[in-house]
Amino acid sequence: MKNNIEISFNVFDDIKHVDDDGREFWYARELMPVLDYDLWRSFDRVINNAKISCQNNKFDVSDHFAEVGKLVSIGSKSTRKIKDYKLSRYACYLIVENSDPRKKIIALGQSYFAFQTRKQEILEMDYEKLSEDEKRFYQRKLTKKFNYKLGKNVSKRGVKNFDNFQNYGYRGLYNGESAADIAKRKGLSYREDILDNMCPEELAANLFRITQTDATITRNDIKGEKDCCDTHYNIGVEIRNTIKKIGGTMPEELPTPKKSLKQLNKEKAFEKYEK
Sheet strands side by side (includes 78-87): 17-18, 24-27, 78-87, 65-75
What is the structure's pLDDT at 138?
83
Shared domain for 150 and 111, answered yes or no, is no
Same domain, 233 and 145: yes
- 34, 15 contact by CB (below 8 A): yes
Residues counted in the chain: 275
Q: Are residues 189 and 72 in the same domain?
A: no
Pick the last residue of a domain from 126, 154, 187. 126
Please report the pLDDT score of residue 6 as a whole number.
Answer: 42
Same domain, 106 and 144: no
Do 172 and 205 fall into the same domain?
A: yes
> Helix crossing, 162-173 with 225-245: angle to 10°?
20
Provide the angle, in degrees to the nearest 10, between the axes of the packed helices 162-173 and 132-155: 130
How far is the C-alpha of 21 from the C-alpha of 88, rounded, in Å?
13
Percent of the chain beyond pLDDT 70? 84
The span from the CA of 31 to the CA of 87, in Å, is 9
pLDDT of 30: 94
pLDDT in tens, 40-72: 999 999 999 999 998 988 888 999 999 997 766
The CA distance from 110 to 154, in Å, is 19
Range of the domain at 95: 1-126
pLDDT tens-place string over residues 162-178: 999 999 999 999 999 99
Q: Are 104 and 205 part of one and the same domain?
A: no
Closest CA to 168 of 250, 227, 243, 241: 227
Q: Is the pLDDT of residue 194 over 70?
A: yes
3-state secondary structure of 81: strand
Instruction: Give the predicted TM-score (pTM) of the model.
Output: 0.58
Q: Are residues 36 and 170 in the same domain?
A: no
Looking at the fold, whether 45 and 105 belong to one and the same domain comes out as yes
| Distance from C-alpha of 211 to C-alpha of 149, rounded to nearest angstrom | 9
pLDDT at res. 147: 93
In sequence order, the 6+-apart residues with CB closer than 8 A to the CB of 23 are 88
Residues 6+ apart with CB under 8 A from 12: 26, 34, 92, 109, 112, 113
pLDDT at 114 over 80: no
Backbone angles phi, psi at 173, to 5 degrees: -75, -35
Question: Helix, strand, coil: what percent of the chain each, to 5?
Answer: 60, 10, 30
Q: Identify any residues that bridge with 82 across adjacent strands, giving them in sequence order.
A: 70
Q: At what angle do helices 225-245 and 2-14 cross, to 10 degrees?
A: 70
Q: How confident is the model at residue 217 (pLDDT cuts 50, 70, 90)?
A: very high
Q: Are residues 23 and 92 in the same domain?
A: yes
pLDDT at 118: 52
Q: Are 77 and 18 in contact (CB under 8 A)?
A: no
Q: Which has the higher per-residue pLDDT, 24 or 193?
A: 193
Task: Give me the chain's average pLDDT, please.
Answer: 85
Same domain, 222 and 198: yes
pLDDT in tens, 130-161: 788 888 998 898 899 899 999 999 999 999 99
135, 270: one domain: yes
Q: What is residue 17's DSSP assignment?
A: E
pLDDT tens column, 18-39: 877 778 899 999 999 999 999 9
Percentage of the residues of the chain whose pLDDT score is greater than 90:
55
One domain, residues 106 and 140: no
Top pLDDT among 5 and 208 is at: 208
Kindly tell me if the per-residue pLDDT of 3 is higher than 70: no
Q: Identify each DSSP E strand in 22-88 by its residue range.
A: 24-27, 65-75, 78-87
Domain count, the chain: 2
DSSP label at residue 221 = T
Q: Which of 126, 146, 175 is the last residue of a domain?
A: 126
Of the residues 103, 126, 149, the one at which a domain ends: 126
Q: Which residue has the higher pLDDT, 77 or 187?
A: 187
Which of 122, 16, 131 minimizes the C-alpha distance to 59?
122
By CB atoms closer than 10 A (0-12, 13-18, 19+), residue 104 is middle
